[in-house]
Amino acid sequence: MALMAEVPSKVGTSICSEDGAVKDGGDDTCECVGPVCASDPLVYKLYHLQIMKFDDRQLAAPWKREMDRVSNLVNLRHLHLYSGIIPMIPCVGKLTSLHELYGFCIKQQDGYTTGELKNLMNIHHLYVSGLDKVLEIESMPRCLEWVGLEGKNVFPRLEMLKVRDCDALRTLPSVPTSIRHVEIHKAETLWQGCSLSALEELSIQQCPSLSCLPKDSFGSLASLKTFKVVKCPNLRTGEIRLPPTVKYITLGLCGEAEQPLVHSLKGLDSLVVLFLDGCALSLFPSEVFTCLAGLTIMVFGNCAITSLPLAEAFATLTNLENLSIWDCQELVSINGILGSPSLLSLQIEGCNKITADQWVDDAASFSSLYELDIDNPLLLLSEPLQSISCVKKLIIAGGPELRYLPEDWLLQNEALKELKVSDASHLICLPPQMTSLSSVELFDISNAKLIQSLPDMPASLRSLRINDCHSELKKRCQKNKGLDWDKIAHICNIDIS
């Protein structure tokens, strides 16, 4: 067991007299030492008590019912009881002033669950054990050590460990090799020298003090499926080898470790989801990109990337179905997407520097795209999206840039079935040739404050929703009497409000 924090011999007024009787020291009463502190009921009414010490094993242990009252002492800072007593104390979560907790045993019983640890924000040293499968330690910003018996596994059945908001934590306890899920969030340490062969998910997030990864340990994680390393800006590492079992990866804002982490993707034939979250690389290495043949979902979020890989590289990703690009402020070219043979869904938001490509591949060969979700409608007026003609579902965020729907683009996508506009606040009117959109079945626009009338609507339309609309439009669409009612009477589901 690690050494206890040093405890002052006297703090304020003691309540232990020579004859063993309790004497109330009033508001200054801070310390209780000896057997009297557990046996006398007056002790549990001392609101200002800061130290309780009873560690002589030769003396009779207190009764369980006496320990039930310890949680009344909400100002306790030091609770030094020998190990056989601590497990009897329920509801330690009420002791929010504690500086250390030794010997608490976690179990599925009221007053003894991991939830008791959530409010102990002043803990500096922690030693808990138990037979639970899930252990969550969070919101202990002052906790320096998680201590235990040397080489002893105090959580033999543990399957999931979550450590969150423990910024100063320097050590973790030994965990069983059977553990399956580890999440480290706002801490500065990882396990050391332990091969976790059953680990399936490892998440390391927002650890600014974390400076190194256990590079030799990752390759031995033979069951690893999910791997996340995000917002650890001071990471440094050499070459990293990930096991070929990994299917889901999230990387980003990892300092000098970012490039080795990206290159570790080579050879991951089972990888199906890749999320680059805040990646600082301006170009994604083509030699890595072309190795991701099994990838089905890829996300660029808030990355520094300036252009997507070339069409030749996209052509190798024969299983890629979903591509999302969010808030990539430096992204200029997306021409490479036209090389994708299997892309079904494309989302582009917050990428304001995308410019028209003067030369694009034949967009006619890009025939797999089913859903297109964009924030800026101007993207549809320039290549490479201008020539696309296979979209069946279009979602436009809208906003100030959307004054008119791109009529020509809508007409060339003859198979279009769904059209949604999230913010039509600046949309003046609907296209006059709406009736020519002969495949559209669903039309949904929100915040349509300026539209005052409707054109003839397509015969295929089955659902029409226009909310936050102009009062004149609502009047014109009144059932059986509005001027535009005949244009929408054939539609099964109508919601104009």
Assess whether 429 and 351 both reside in one domain: no
Q: Do 364 and 427 lie in a common domain?
A: no
Q: Which residue has the higher pLDDT, 359 or 467?
A: 467
Shared domain check, 429 and 346? no
pLDDT for position 251:
94
Which run of H or E residues covers position 266? none
pLDDT digits (tens, 9 = 90+) for 207-225: 888 887 765 567 778 899 9
SS3 state at 215: helix
Q: Among the ranges 63-77, 168-182, 222-236, 451-465, which has the highest mean pLDDT value?
A: 451-465
Tell how many helices (H) and how many strands (E) occur in the chain.
9, 23
383 and 304, same domain (yes or no): yes
Same domain as 387, residue 295: yes
| 339 found inside a domain | yes
In a domain, 348, yes or no: yes
Please indicate, yes or no, whether residues 305 and 367 belong to a single structural domain of this protein.
yes
On average, the pLDDT of the chain sits at 81
Identify the bridge partners of residue 372 per DSSP, sorted by sequence position. Answer: 346, 394
Verify that 460 and 426 share a domain, yes or no.
yes
* Rounded Cα distance, 427 and 194, in Å: 60
Examine the domain organization and report whether 424 and 355 are in the same domain.
no
Residue 480 in any domain: the answer is: yes
Q: Is residue 275 part of a domain?
A: no
- The verdict on 442 and 474 lying in the same domain is yes
Per-residue confidence at 74, pLDDT binned at 50, 70, 90?
confident
pLDDT at 334: 93
In a domain, 385, yes or no: yes
As a whole number of angstroms, the distance between CA 126 and CA 357 comes to 59
pLDDT higher than threshold 80 for residue 183 = yes
* Domain tally, the chain: 2
Average pLDDT over residues 271-281: 95
* 372 lies in the same domain as 442: no
Q: Tell me how far apart the 2 most distant CA atoms of the chain are, in Å.
A: 100
Residues 385 and 476 in one domain: no
- Position 175 in a domain: no
Alpha carbon 431 to its chain centroid, in Å, reads: 41
Residue 142 lies in a domain: no
85, part of any domain: no
Residue 278 has pLDDT above 70, yes or no: yes
Domain range spanning residue 296? Answer: 291-391
What pLDDT does 149 receive?
A: 47
- Indicate the pLDDT class of residue 27, thresholds 50, 70 and 90: very low
Neighbour tally for 459: CB within 10 Å: 10
Residues 454 and 496 grouped into a single domain: yes
Sign of the dihedral defined by the CA atoms of residues 289, 290, 291, 293, in that order: positive
**Average pLDDT of 285-313?**
94
